[in-house]
């Protein structure tokens, strides 16, 4: 009987040892690699970097290469190397510079206003009040709405005959008759700026609210004990410590605004005339309407370089690594 018990217990030990052997062997193999933290990080990040190279950098390189050729969508027509000729044609095109002016006005009028409104909303949402989280979710609705759908909604609201905005303004006596907002060049651009401010101010507020939540409360308590006013606290504590977040918010909003496509495409189609034709919409028309793929690639490369310059200006102006 004891022999039977000993045999059973030894069998259980053998089976348990056999079950743990694969786990132990795998662990031993990992330990035998003797990777440092840097080498492990490199091994883990390499697949991600290769994926980004495939989906991001390859299209950029291919666009630059295409900008040096005359491109056709028909494979039977050969492409011809033309060097910088496409760039010369783009830079001498009046439509390109008109779209550049439109994009600059659209970007550097809307983004500062969004920053001010977003900061105000973030300061209000930082306070504790009833229904705070419901309001936080509600203000994100304009930003969450797809841009083209948003453009179509506002196009109907601004409609010269059937638009609700005209109807309200006429009923209030502000206008004597319906006004064609989207048919007037300056008013159409102003309307487009108004719409993007309405849509993206909440996104700016969301980013700034995250930055405000990271500012320690004891700094404000110390300032209040020293007799600092609300304005002094905002100027000397909030703004300096919020500057890195403001930099991120400006980059996140300026680049999409400078490369705006969906809103002008869905709202006015770039009209009236070329009053709301942005750089990316100009490039889209050049590439897919005129089928000038070489010049379209050249325009896309120039737009990317402009966006890169804007980002570098922001970083050089606002980035402060010593801010705590």
3-state secondary structure 202-254: HHHHHHHHHHHHCCCHHHHHHHHHCCCCHHHHHHHHHHHHHHHHHHHHHHHHH
Q: Which of 297, 281, 278, 282 is nearest to 84 (CA)?
A: 297
Lowest mean pLDDT, pick from 60-69, 107-116, 256-265, 314-323: 314-323
| pLDDT of amino acid 90 | 95
Residue pair 112/204 in contact by the 8 Å Cβ criterion:
no
- Name the DSSP class of 145: S
Closest C-alpha to 101, from 197, 186, 200: 186
Q: Contact 78/252 with Cβ under 8 angstroms?
A: no
Summarize the confidence of residues 239-268 as an average pLDDT: 92
Query: Within 13 Å, how many C-alpha atoms sit on residue 268's CB side?
Result: 29
Residue 56, class by beta-carbon neighbours within 10 Å (0-12 exposed, 13-18 middle, 19+ buried)? exposed
Query: What pLDDT score was predicted for residue 134?
Result: 85
Mean pLDDT for the chain overall: 85
* Average pLDDT, integer, range 291-301: 91
Q: What's the pTM value of the predicted model, to 2 decimals?
A: 0.81
- In tens, the pLDDT along 130-156 reads 887 888 888 888 888 899 999 999 999
pLDDT of residue 20: 47
How high is the pLDDT of residue 28?
Answer: 54
pLDDT (tens digit per residue) in 8-67: 444 444 444 444 455 445 555 555 566 677 878 888 899 998 998 888 888 888 889 889
Return the closest-CA partner of residue 68 out of 45, 92, 86: 86
pLDDT confidence tier of residue 302, bands split at 50, 70 and 90: very high
């Amino acid at each position: 009987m004891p022999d039977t018990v000993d045999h059973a217990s030894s069998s259980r030990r053998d089976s348990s040892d056999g079950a743990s052997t694969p786990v132990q062997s795998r662990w031993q193999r990992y330990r035998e690699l003797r990777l440092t933290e840097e080498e492990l990080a490199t091994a883990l990040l390499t697949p991600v970097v290769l994926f980004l190279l495939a989906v991001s950098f390859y299209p950029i390189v291919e666009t630059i290469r295409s900008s040096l050729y005359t491109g056709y969508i028909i494979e039977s027509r050969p492409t011809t190397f033309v060097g910088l000729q496409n760039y010369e044609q783009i830079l001498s095109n009046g439509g390109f510079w008109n779209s550049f002016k439109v994009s600059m006005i659209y970007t550097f009028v809307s983004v500062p206003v969004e920053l001010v409104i977003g900061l105000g909303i973030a300061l209000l949402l930082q306070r504790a009040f009833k229904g705070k989280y419901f309001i936080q979710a509600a203000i994100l609705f304009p930003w969450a709405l797809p841009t083209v759908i948003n453009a179509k909604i506002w196009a109907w609201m601004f409609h010269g005959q059937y638009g609700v905005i005209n109807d309200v303004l006429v009923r209030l006596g502000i206008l004597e008759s319906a006004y064609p907002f989207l048919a007037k060049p300056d008013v159409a651009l102003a309307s487009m700026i108004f719409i993007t401010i309405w849509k993206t101010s909440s996104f700016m507020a969301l980013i700034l609210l995250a930055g405000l939540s990271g500012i320690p409360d004891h700094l404000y308590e110390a300032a209040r004990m020293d007799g600092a006013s609300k304005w002094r606290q905002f100027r000397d504590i909030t703004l300096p410590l919020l500057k890195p977040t403001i930099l991120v918010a400006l980059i996140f909003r300026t680049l999409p605004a400078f490369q705006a496509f969906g809103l002008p495409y869905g709202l006015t189609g770039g009209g009236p005339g070329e009053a709301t034709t942005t750089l990316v919409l100009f490039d889209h028309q050049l590439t897919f309407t005129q089928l000038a793929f070489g010049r379209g690639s050249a325009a896309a490369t120039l737009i990317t370089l402009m966006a890169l310059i804007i980002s570098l200006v922001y970083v050089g102006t606002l980035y402060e690594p010593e801010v705590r």
